[in-house]
Amino acid sequence: EPEVTQTPSHQVTQMGQEVILRCVPISNHLYFYWYRQILGQKVEFLVSFYNNEISEKSEIFDDQFSVERPDGSNFTLKIRSTKLEDSAMYFCATRGTRGGYGYTFGSGTRLTVV
């Protein structure tokens, strides 16, 4: 079964440092999303991406966040200057154009800001 691959699985970073989280979507999927989940809490929408541009972003997705698809395969989330409250599990999710199949989530990157 096709998978969404995320790297790294765990990232520890100093406050103020930049991090880049990477995702390899399923090859024929066209809609890409980043979600985050603070430990024990619900899954929160960050941003959606389609046709090489942001479709929608949440209030969480401020100027410190950016996304891009630099080489047509990877889909990245960059946090420019990390804060302690950015510590969370970050999930990449993708979906195809056919209805009824939901999102496919990657296994996530656990980001710890110290």
Partner 1 sequence: GQQVMQIPQYQHVQEGEDFTTYCNSSTTLSNIQWYKQRPGGHPVFLIQLVKSGEVKKQKRLTFQFGEAKKNSSLHITATQTTDVGTYFCAGPSIYNQGGKLIFGQGTELSVKP
Question: Least distance from C-beta 79 to partner 1, angstroms?
Answer: 20
Looking only at residues 4 through 43 of this chain, which bind partner 1 when binding is defined by CB under 8 A? 31, 33, 35, 41-43
Question: Least distance from C-beta 15 to partner 1, angstroms?
Answer: 25
- Token output for 28: 């024929």
- Token output for 59: 């209030």
User: Please, which residues bridge with residue 65 across strands?
Assistant: 79
Does 8 sit behind a cis peptide bond, omega within 30 degrees of 0 on the bond before it? yes
d(CA 94, CA 106): 9
Length of the chain: 114
Looking only at residues 46 through 105 of this chain, which bind partner 1 when binding is defined by CB under 8 A? 48, 50, 55-56, 91, 93, 95, 99-105
The residue among 16 and 92 lying less far from partner 1, judged by its C-beta, is 92
**Given the rule CB under 8 A, which residues bind partner 1?**
31, 33, 35, 41-45, 48, 50, 55-56, 91, 93, 95, 99-108
